[in-house]
Each structure stands twice: as C-alpha cells, then as structure tokens.
A = this chain, B = another copy of it.
Amino acid sequence: MRSQKSHFILFLLVLTFTSIKAQKEDSLFIRKAYDIALTEGHAYENLRSLCKDVGARLSGSPQADSAVVWAKRLLESYDFDSVWLMPVTVPHWVRGDIEEAGFNGKPMNVKTLGGSVSSNGKIEAEVIEVHDFEELEELGEEKVKGKIVFYNRPMDAKLISTGQAYGGCVNQRWGGASEAAKFGAVGVFVRSMSHHQDEHAHTGSMGYEEGVKKIPSIAISLPDANRLSAQLKKQKDLKAYMNVNPQVLPDKESFNVIAEIKGTEESGKIITFGGHLDSWDVGEGAHDDGAGVIHSIEALRIMKEMGYRPKHTLRCVLFMNEENGNRGGKTYAAVAKEKGEVHYAALESDGGGFVPRGFTLDASPENVKQMQSWEPLLEPYNLHIFKAGWGGVDIGPLKKQGVPLIGLRVDDQRYFDHHHSDTDVFENVHKRELELGAASFASMIYLVDKYGLGEDTLEGVKEE
C-alpha cells in the first residue's frame, strides 16, 4: 500500500512539474505572440493594403478577383509550406447604377439589398409600415396590396450584445420581400440594421421564397426610416418611390485562398482557421471581414516567425462568398469530406477588428470545459469570454463532420455602426485592437494545437 502510495505521489509530482513547465512555456509563447503582433506586426499595413489597393470585393466582382490575387501573393511572400487556390463557383449579383428612393420630393439614403431584383423602372406607391411578419399578416392583402411595405423594427438597444440585437431583426431584411409579396406588395423598404444614427444605409443579403413573386427590396438609413415613420403618422396616404436596377449575372469561378504549415506529429489532422475574403460592395470591407482575413494571415505569420513547429497541420483559409451564399464554406467542407481529411478543429474571425474579448465554442460541454481551462493563460490579455456559442458562417458546414468550431469574440458595440455600409473602411479600424485580435487568434490556435479540445488533452500534456 505504502509503496503504491509513494509511487502515486511521485507520479503526481512529475505531473505537476511537467504541467508547471508546460504552463510556463505556454505563457512565454503567448507573450511572444502578442509582442510580435504589437511591435513588429504586419496586421495594420496588410489591412490598409487590402482596403486601399483592393477595396470592396463582392463575390463575382473584378475586385474579388483582385482580392484572390492579392491574398495569394501575400501568403506566398511569407514562405509557408504551401499556398493554393481552391476553386469555388460563386453567385454574381451586381448593384447596378440606379439606386434611388424617396418621398415628398426628398430622396432617402438607400442601398439595394444584395440579391434583390430590379424595380424595372420607377415604382411609386403608398407605404405601409410594419414591425414584424405578424403585423403584416394581420393587415392582410386588403391593406398591403399594391403598396410598398416598410419594415421598421429597430435593433433592440437593451440587448448588450449587438449581434443578438441584429439577430432579432434581420429576418425583415432576409425574408421581408417574399412575406410582403404574398400579400401583393410591390416593393420593400427595410430599416437599416444598426444602432448608429448616421446617414448611411446598410446593405446585406436577402432571398426569395420559391413560387412567390420577386419584388425589389432596399435598405434605408436610420434617419430616413425615422423621418418616413413620422411622416406616415401625419399622412396616411403617403406615397414613396423606388428605382433600382440590380442584376443577377451567371455564376462565376472564384477561389478560397489557402496557406498551410504542415504538422510535425499529426500532419493528417488539420486545424483550419480563417475569415472571409469577400465583402459587400460598399465601404472597404475593413471590419467585415478584412479584419478576419488579417487576423488569420497574421496568426500564421506569427507562428512561422516564432519558428513554431505545430503538431497538427495549421491551415489558414480565406473563404470566398460568405456574404451572399457561403459557397466558399460549403465547398471547403465538401472537399474535406471528399478527400477524407480529418479536421481537428476550425476557428473563425468574423466579428471585426475590435478589441478582443475571448472565444465561443460550438462543440460538447467537455470541449468547452477544456477551452475554459486555458483562461488563466489568456486573462492577462483581457480575454474573458470562454463559453459555448457560435463558431462562424464559413466554418459552419464542417459541423456535420463533427469538427469543434471556435469563434473569436471581439467587442461588438461598434460593429453594426459600420457593418455593410460605406463607413466600413480602414480608418475605422484601430491598429492596436486589430493587433490584439491577431495575437489572441494565434494564441488560441497554439493551445488547440498543443492540447486539443477533447480527451486527447492529457496526451498532449504527457508529450511535453
């Protein structure tokens, strides 16, 4: 008994010693990653180049083609183990050159929603304001037919998470046109999805229900939405106009852009991390998702710069077409399945370049617990969110293959100020906040590579 006990104590001591040693190594690694990001980082200049040299880059556009070339060249310049393009067939919607709406002789600031059909010339009709689909249904065909439906439900200011507030009203944007068309509406105005009262309208994707007439749908700025709503209270028969000429062109070939550092021990197991290379065709796609692209490239660059030899294969994927189809994400998962690739974990940054707060994990409670065990290592960097939650749109299709999905969480108070609008430009990204995001992303990738998210954790520690 005694002997077994002392063996056990010895075992515990060794384990504690190895664990302390590993923790110290981890601390040093993470500290160094932040040091590099903050003092010799490429993040800010790379984002400047993506925003200014390439600019807005909607799937199918010449700018999206440029973005692919830009990303491939940049990744190649870092001399990773390999860089390649994965073909993706993307939708090709173009905004057109007419984008007008207004009432009482005064134009509104508007953006045609992505995917909308053309109005085929100017539509003029009475406007009816609703706040949700239930209200629309109650009004019914009698009150809706022949009119422009104006969806005016705002994002809920009480919700601390602006993402949650966005989630609470984005169905107006996505499905509002078809719901209104069912009752004979001729067009749709949607209040921009934002808390920020500036003059810019916020675009975004919408879709049509099969078998329902397609009517044009456009976003209007918050001040215009407020003005229109106020006027409707005074003038029940108020007429407004809209004139937009977007077009759907044939699908086009594009690419996910991929770079890899091969794993040393388990190169067959892949840790995918990325953001999306496409953006809407307004602003410069700086936060959405230039920041995620840059976080991902910079994370791999920092690993390389530090001479880190990962156990698993680290793969940085810049996805094409998150905004209006997620073809990049779907193709990536399909190819992985087809090739029988084993994906160990996938991480995404698609919340902007704001100050990082932590990570959410879409996987088992055990996996979440494992991630939470790393909190002491990351708390000095003001990361505090380590909980179950959203991974990301692009990595989402990997979920079916059982891959744990991790989302980088950055502070979201300012995100929807700029989201899908003209102000999503380089100047609205803060250098240090962007850099901190890149270092946080690199640190999480390192921890996942070293310890895994599941049962293989102790294995990881033992291998030290």
A: which residues have CB within 8 A of B?
A: 34-35, 38-39, 157-158, 160, 162, 195-196, 355, 357, 380-382, 384-385, 411, 413-414, 417, 430-433, 436
Contacts and interface: CB of A to CB of B under 8 A. Distances in A.
A413 B436 contact: yes
28 contacts: A34-B158, A34-B160, A38-B157, A38-B158, A39-B157, A39-B158, A157-B432, A160-B381, A160-B382, A160-B436, A162-B432, A195-B431, A195-B432, A196-B431, A355-B355, A355-B411, A355-B413, A357-B382, A382-B411, A384-B384, A411-B411, A413-B430, A413-B432, A413-B433, A413-B436, A414-B430, A414-B433, A417-B430
Contacts of A432: 157, 162, 195, 413
Contacts of A157: 38-39, 432
B413 A158 contact: no
A221 to B, nearest CB: 16
Minimum-distance CB pairs A-B, first 6 = A384-B384, A38-B157, A413-B432, A39-B157, A35-B158, A355-B413
Nearest to A381: B160
Given A157-B432, A196-B431, A413-B432, 18 more contacts: A34-B158, A34-B160, A35-B158, A38-B158, A39-B157, A39-B158, A160-B380, A160-B382, A355-B355, A355-B411, A355-B413, A382-B385, A384-B384, A411-B411, A413-B433, A414-B430, A414-B433, A417-B430
Nearest to A40: B157
A157 B439 CA distance: 13
Contacts of A196: 431
A292 to B, nearest CB: 19
A435 to B, nearest CB: 9
A380 B414 CA distance: 18
Contacts of A162: 432
Contacts of A357: 382
A411 B356 CA distance: 11
A459 B61 CA distance: 68
A357 to B, nearest CB: 7
Contacts of A431: 195-196
How many copies the complex holds: the figure is 2
A138 B357 CA distance: 44
A16 to B, nearest CB: 26
Nearest to A31: B158
A414 B431 CA distance: 10
A103 B385 CA distance: 50
Nearest to A195: B432
Contacts of A160: 34, 380-382, 436
A440 to B, nearest CB: 11
A381, A417, A430, A432, most chain B CB atoms within 10 A: A432
Contacts of A355: 355, 411, 413
Contacts of A34: 158, 160
Contacts of A380: 160
Nearest to A357: B382
A158 B33 CA distance: 10
Contacts of A384: 384
A385 B157 CA distance: 24
A414 B436 CA distance: 13
A113 to B, nearest CB: 25
A430 B412 CA distance: 12
